[in-house]
Structure 1
Amino acid sequence: MTVETQVVVIGGGQAGLAAGYHLRRLGLEFVVLDAQAAPGGAWQHAWDSLHLFSPAAYSSLPGRPMPVQAGQTYPDADHVVGYLTDYERRYGLPVHRPVRVAGVHRDGEFLRVETDAGLWRARAVISATGTWWRPFLPAVPGRADFSGRQLHTVEYRSPRDFAGQRVVVVGGGNSGAQIAADLAHDTELTWATQRPPRFLADDIDGRALFDVATARRRALEEGRTDTGGVVSLGDIVAVPPVREARDAGRLKAAPMFVRLDRDGVVWADGTRAPADAVVWCTGFRPALSHLAPLGLRGVRGHIATEGTRAVDEPRVHLLGYGDWTGPASATLIGVGRPAREAAREIAGLLAQEPGRGPAPVPTRGSGQDLGGVQGADAGREGAEQNP
């Protein structure tokens, strides 16, 4: 099967749906290819206790406010999955699933998208695969020698799986803090971080973080190194479970250990902590292997972008991978604006083709970007968001 269309969006999570919304408003022909069997993106694979950083009223994709979840100030992951499922249905977005993309290739005036369900040929491609599918594990000496269980954030589900065990949680970002707080009640917990964890003030949640990311991005674009003293998105949001564990003295961080041995972890001074399990909350890298045939990575492995557009292939846009593809674009609160700009740039590109009139530009109103910060790893440890 070979299908020809104007735009292929790769990824059916929040970034892919936001892109689809704006492409639909511009009247473009497109498909969304999603590797998952069901709607909801990475949210359907999150740990049981994960909640958003901000209330439902501030946690919306463009055009459709997220409904309030009964009894919850901060909606849980299941509520987000339901919202994304409804969003996809409400706007009739043409999502094909499960479809796994093997590679994107140049094919004359087209880009050829090769998948396990056939070929698509498109004038432009939006890559919106996120980072969840490429967990990052640091090269800590002795990892292969450890006899206990090792898992990454993506594999963690519930503290019930570790009751009564000695567990080491590694990582000082939001996922590390939340999972450490989750485990603080029923395990012998060690929380190891590269630097002392920084907690945001208790009254700061996702409603403020998008403004922080936007201010920082604007300062850098203007050539200013002074970002106004704004806090980093890597700082920990004191959501209620984290705040409770911290205030009860159960959430105390130890310095990062230097190696593992068969029985546990070892610090530089020889101090040891026996462990039954290590949970690596060490972030992610963007899942971009499907773009490898285009040769877009530079000498340091970075794909250069201007906004969301790949510098070396203007028909390709990258959406939802972190600040380098738009302020807070890996979050619900932040993805709407760069999705809108990517769709507009693509419409402008297509309008230059012979026989096609100018692309329509939407007015303000139904497409306004409300939003809330995604609960999973809005902060990051190490190379989580590095392209």
Structure 2
Amino acid sequence: MKEILDAIVFGGGQAGLATGYHLQKKGLRFLILEASNQIGGSWPSYYDSLKLFSPAGYSSMPGMKFPGNQNRYPHRDEVVRYLQDYKIKFQLPVIFNQRVELVEKDRGGFLIRTMTGDIFRARTIINATGSFRNPFLPTIAGMEMFQGDILHSSEYRNPKSFHNQRVVVVGGGNSAVQIAVELTEMSQTSLAVVRPIQFVKQRVWGQDLHFWLKLIGFDTFPFWRFGKTAPRSKAVNDTNKYKERITAGKPYQEPMFTSFYKGGVIWPDGIKEPVDTVIFATGFRPQFPYLQAIGALDEEGRPLHKAGISIVPGLYYVGLEGQRSFASATLRGVGQDAEFIVKKLVQCLK
């Protein structure tokens, strides 16, 4: 592609689309490159029963209200449809099947090569791909000898294939709890945790938790101004009587096992237990190897930035966890971050 654009956005999920909205408002020439063949980023790949942790009324992106009852917690497929409709409503210029392979500096801007062999040029770049494609699996003694199945939560879809199995879910966050609770309907399931699960009530004094987070300003508090990333919540939103289920042992909550053996796991008291499947709900890590050549990453591959502004002039991020606030990587938070970044980008273009 010979035309040099004002900006190219990597990723057609919530962060990329919100960024496109604000780029369009500024009248800039831009494209959104999406690695897959559909809109939605990681949402189409999440497990079947996933629901938003925030009500519809607190889950809108800029310029378009999330439809339906504003007090309900939208299902995964509703979010995917919302993002698809968002792209259509604003006629955002998304090109599919364009996974970025390499970014190079080029004539005061950037040259972007994709896996298909296509070349794009832009004065600025906004990386909005998230980290779903890089699931984190901790290294645990004996893992290589375990003959059962080891999965990451990103590979889990529903409990049907685990019928009558002995399953251990590792993790103490929302996804770990949701997956473990629904697996108890089909299998003997335990939840292995480093520390006891902390629950937070979803509704306080008749209002959803997000009402209070917004009211006191915590949801969008600018931690970045103080040289910090926003803290990660270690509490689980009790949206579906999860605390009640776990208290009743459905599933059991167990201290994290110390190691694997051939047929299962070894618990802290030394007891060996046969296990069919271990599912790690241990999160994700940013991974942008295509940015390594321009000096945008540290030795561990993490982006070097402040509030989404890279140390490399002309490179920006939207959608990183804790980027500017507690809500940065969420539907409700990407819009404000995208607006902030586009303002900085416009200043760069002048």
Question: Which TM-score applies when normalising by structure 1?
Answer: 0.83
Aligned-partner residue type, residue 186 of structure 2: D
- The equivalences for 1:31-180 within 5 A come to 31-68=31-68, 73-115=72-114, 116-180=116-180
- In structure 2, the partner of 1:25 is 25
State the distance in 1 between where 2:119 and 2:227 align. Answer: 43
1:213 Cα offset (Å): 4.2
- In structure 2, the partner of 1:369 is none
More strand by share: 2
State the distance in 2 between where 1:108 and 1:237 align. Answer: 49
- In structure 2, the partner of 1:212 is 218
Other structure's SS at 2:332 match:
coil
Aligned-partner residue type, residue 218 of structure 2: V
Q: How many residues align?
A: 343
- In structure 1, the partner of 2:294 is 294
Show CA shifts across 1:270-320 (max 9, x none): 122221101010110013122111122234544331221102x12000110
Other structure's SS at 1:44 match:
helix
Asked if 2 retains the 8 angstrom alpha-carbon contact of 1:182 and 1:241, the reply is no
Show CA shifts across 1:346-377 (max 9, x none): 111112xxxxxxxxxxxxxxxxxxxxxxxxxx
State the distance in 2 between where 1:111 and 1:82 align. Answer: 33
- In structure 2, the partner of 1:264 is 264
Change beyond 3 A, Cα 1:223–1:77:
closer
Asked if 2 retains the 8 angstrom alpha-carbon contact of 1:104 and 1:114, the reply is yes
- In structure 2, the partner of 1:359 is none
Asked if 1 retains the 8 angstrom alpha-carbon contact of 2:255 and 2:268, the reply is no
Extract unaligned runs of 5+ from structure 2.
none
Show CA shifts across 1:321-356 (max 9, x none): 1103544211111111110011111111112xxxxx
- In structure 1, the partner of 2:314 is 315
Which of 212, 218, 225 pairs up with 1:221? 225
State the distance in 1 between where 2:180 and 2:273 align. Answer: 16
Other structure's SS at 1:21 match:
helix
State the distance in 1 between where 2:158 and 2:132 align. Answer: 18
Show CA shifts across 1:143-164 (max 9, x none): 1111111111111000111111
Change beyond 3 A, Cα 1:326–1:317:
farther
Q: Note if 1:282 corresponds to 2:282.
A: yes
Asked if 2 retains the 8 angstrom alpha-carbon contact of 1:146 and 1:262, the reply is yes
Change beyond 3 A, Cα 1:40–1:298:
closer
Asked if 2 retains the 8 angstrom alpha-carbon contact of 1:69 and 1:75, the reply is no
Task: Select between 40-49 and 269-278 the one with higher mean Cα deviation.
Answer: 269-278
Aligned-partner residue type, residue 86 of structure 2: Y
Aligned-partner residue type, residue 83 of structure 1: Y
- In structure 2, the partner of 1:358 is none
- Higher RCO (C-alpha 8 Å, min separation 6): 1
Please report the RMSD computed on the Cα atoms of aligned residues, expressed in angstroms: 2.3
Show CA shifts across 1:195-236 (max 9, x none): 111111242544455643434x44x73489xx9xxx952211
Asked if 1 retains the 8 angstrom alpha-carbon contact of 2:288 and 2:301, the reply is no
